[in-house]
A and B are shown apart, each in its own frame.
Chain A
Amino acid sequence: MLFNYVAEPNSNLLCCICRMPFIEPATTRTCSHTFCRDCIVEAIGHARQCPVDRSPLSAEDLVPANSIIRSLVDELIVECIHRASGCPHTCQRQLLTAHIMDVCPFSSVACPKGECDQILARIDAKSHRCPHTRVSCELCGVKMQLDDLKNHIRECTDSIVTCEYCSFELSRSELPAHNTSCPEAIIPCPQGSNGCGWTGPRTTLASLHTPFCPYEAIKGFFAANATKLERITEENLMLRHKVDILESHLQNTKRELQSAKTALGPWFRPDGVYAYSSSRPSTSSDLAPDLQPASASTSAGRFSSGSDAAALLSPFDHAPLQDALAAYFPSNDPAYPALARRQTLPSGWDPAFGGGANNNNARASTQHTQTVAPLNLSTTLEGALVGVRESVVALSGAVDSLGRRNDIALTNEALRLNEEVMSLRANMHGLRMQVHTIMMDRNAQVTGRGGENPNNNIDGAWPMAMHPPRFYNYNPQAAGAPSITKL
């Protein structure tokens, strides 16, 4: 609590920290300086020394100040803290709390009835009519809060009201019933909904207006019309509902179509030439590798690869042509393979055979129908693609195995030829040996006469044949030669 002192306090009673008269003065045991308790505790928290002489200090060194000092500060005259609100009271500082608690008309108190949580000045508390006070309506006896009473009076069913037409006094609860029967009440013509603009007191309606009301005369027509209109409105509603349903269906269909288009991508063709699909050339070639001669399969492979590439690059480019010509060709004709086989001929191949109008692509496609499973259009696009991929994989396997077989055949052939060459060589050797023997014999006869001619060709070969047994030993490959020679 901040005190306002009436007189300037003696400076000896001021705390040097807060510069105000001591509150709960505390004196240091070590150096006998006095401070407010709160001030010195906080100062020690910052620096453990006396603020006046900087001697070391701790909270344990603090003792309550001399009672004379305490009395001096407690008896200082202060103003009431509600002076600004209008309380002129001054008293000793130690008595101010009691004044505020019990007497001061401007201090805050709770609602004296204890029925609301409003805080108000004590001076107002006596006149305070708590809005939460429960009161009862004088007319109907219903209990309610004071706040609600004002609103209630305006609509209390037991309050007396006056009929605005006949000035009859009655309670509010009876007013609606009276209004339907009050003879003076202003009412409209019953035909008002059909266009009659008449209004007037109830008593004059039957006697003065109804006999002359033009709408009254044709009220049967109005009724019939109304029924008809109602029926039409109902029907209209139903139709509208139907249109709504159909529209939503259409929307759904459109959405589905759109998603199908998206899924199909380039496979989607809007103009409905789907007849092509059935006779379409298959882009997968599943050649049966073990049935076809190597030469035939290579040429067919070359051919089909060309047409495949064309079909993959532009799957629809050939479609109209193919479609237009489809009637001329047996699409899956079993006789066609014969024709397909002939396609390996060069392009000068007899045009009359195919009616002169088909082209290489068409021939390629028919070639495929012979060995390749047709494209299964009942599966999804993904399925078809997977099938195509599998076919390509199988094809590559087939080509691979074909290559291997070719290798093996080639190797076998080479081995055989090798053997043949070997045997020929052995034969040759045997022949040479025989010629050699003959020559030796001849030489023996000739040298017997001393005919040594160094320029003789046969003589040049002589030293080689000088030691035939050694020659055989040196060449083990030729070991079998004599036996072959003997054959």
Chain B
Amino acid sequence: MALPKRIIKETERLVADPAPGITAAPHEDNLRYFDVTIQGPDGSPFQQGIFKLELFLPEEYPMAPPKVRFLTKIYHPNIDKLGRICLDILKDKWSPALQIRTVLLSVQALLSAPNPDDPLAPDVAKHYKEDEKGAMGVSREWTALYASG
């Protein structure tokens, strides 16, 4: 099926005018599948980390949200071991007015503002609630360990 014009335009803009700290490049053989990197935001325990993600635009896009998943291990209360992200706009709060760029910016913002009250990784969330400093230390360690390359 032909790629909708909107996806072509979004891809062109992502490549030509990327958002700060975010890159996204489509696969050559499947233009709905993107390799994404997000820099850890300054001031967060993920600072200086470069996190790899994958993003897939389903057939219904933009009526259905894109599917996004972390490939790099990350110690974050809203991201589980498999890299799945607990983010409302990726689920029920999706709107066709949102784009790949806005989604990735939201993910980046999630790194700055972990939300342990709506956890996906309960043990990490518990750690963050009970000992935020210690938990942030682990996040920093993991970032150095897994996201420094």
Contact = CB atoms under 8 A, between A and B. Distances in A.
Given A2-B5, A18-B5, A19-B5, A39 B96 contact: yes
Interface of A: 2, 16-20, 39, 42-43, 45-47, 49-52, 54
Given A2-B5, A19-B5, A42-B63, A51 B95 contact: yes
Given A16-B97, A20-B9, A46-B63, 13 more contacts: A2-B5, A16-B96, A18-B4, A18-B62, A19-B6, A19-B9, A20-B5, A42-B63, A43-B96, A51-B97, A51-B98, A54-B93, A54-B95
Interface string B1-22: 0001110011000000000000
B9 A17 contact: no
Contacts of A46: 60, 63-64, 96
Contacts of A20: 5-6, 9
Contacts of B62: 17-18
Contact of A52 (B5, B60, B97): B97
A48 to B, nearest CB: 12
A45 B6 CA distance: 19
Given A17-B97, A52-B97, A54-B93, A43 B63 contact: yes
Residue among B60, B63, B97, B98 with most chain A CB within 10 A: B97
Contacts of B96: 16-17, 39, 43, 46, 51
Interface in B83-102: 93-99
Contacts of A49: 95
Contacts of B60: 46
Interface residues of B, number: 16
Nearest to B8: A19
Sort A-B residue pairs by CB-CB distance and give the 7 closest, nearest first. Answer: A51-B97, A16-B97, A51-B95, A17-B96, A19-B6, A46-B63, A51-B96
Contacts of B99: 19
Contact of A19 (B10, B64, B95): B10
Contacts of A52: 95, 97
Nearest to B98: A51
A333 to B, nearest CB: 104
A2 B6 CA distance: 12
Nearest to A16: B97
Contacts of B5: 2, 18-20
Contacts of B9: 19-20
23 contacts: A2-B5, A16-B96, A17-B6, A17-B62, A17-B96, A18-B5, A18-B6, A18-B62, A19-B6, A19-B10, A19-B99, A20-B5, A20-B9, A43-B63, A45-B63, A46-B60, A46-B64, A46-B96, A47-B95, A50-B95, A51-B96, A51-B97, A54-B95
A194 B99 CA distance: 96
B8 to A, nearest CB: 9
A185 to B, nearest CB: 70
Nearest to A40: B96
A49 B96 CA distance: 10
Contacts of B93: 54
A51 B95 CA distance: 5
A49 B97 CA distance: 11
B121 to A, nearest CB: 27
A52 B99 CA distance: 12
Contacts of B4: 18
A9 to B, nearest CB: 12
A50 B5 CA distance: 22
A106 B60 CA distance: 34
A354 to B, nearest CB: 105
Interface in B1-56: 4-6, 9-10
Nearest to B13: A19
A238 B65 CA distance: 89
A148 to B, nearest CB: 42
Nearest to B9: A19
B26 to A, nearest CB: 16
A30 to B, nearest CB: 15
A42 B61 CA distance: 11
Nearest to A33: B97
B104 to A, nearest CB: 16
Contacts of B6: 17-20
A43 to B, nearest CB: 5
A16 B94 CA distance: 13
Nearest to A46: B63
B19 to A, nearest CB: 16
B58 to A, nearest CB: 12
A47 B4 CA distance: 20
Contacts of B95: 47, 49-52, 54
Contacts of A16: 96-97
A51 B6 CA distance: 16
Residue among B4, B6, B9, B95 with most chain A CB within 10 A: B95
A45 B60 CA distance: 12
A98 to B, nearest CB: 24
A161 to B, nearest CB: 60
Contacts of A2: 5
A43 B97 CA distance: 10
Nearest to A43: B96
B102 to A, nearest CB: 11
A51 B63 CA distance: 10
A47 B9 CA distance: 24
Contacts of A18: 4-6, 62
A42 B63 CA distance: 8
A128 B118 CA distance: 71
A20 B10 CA distance: 11
A84 to B, nearest CB: 15
Contacts of A45: 63
Nearest to B4: A18
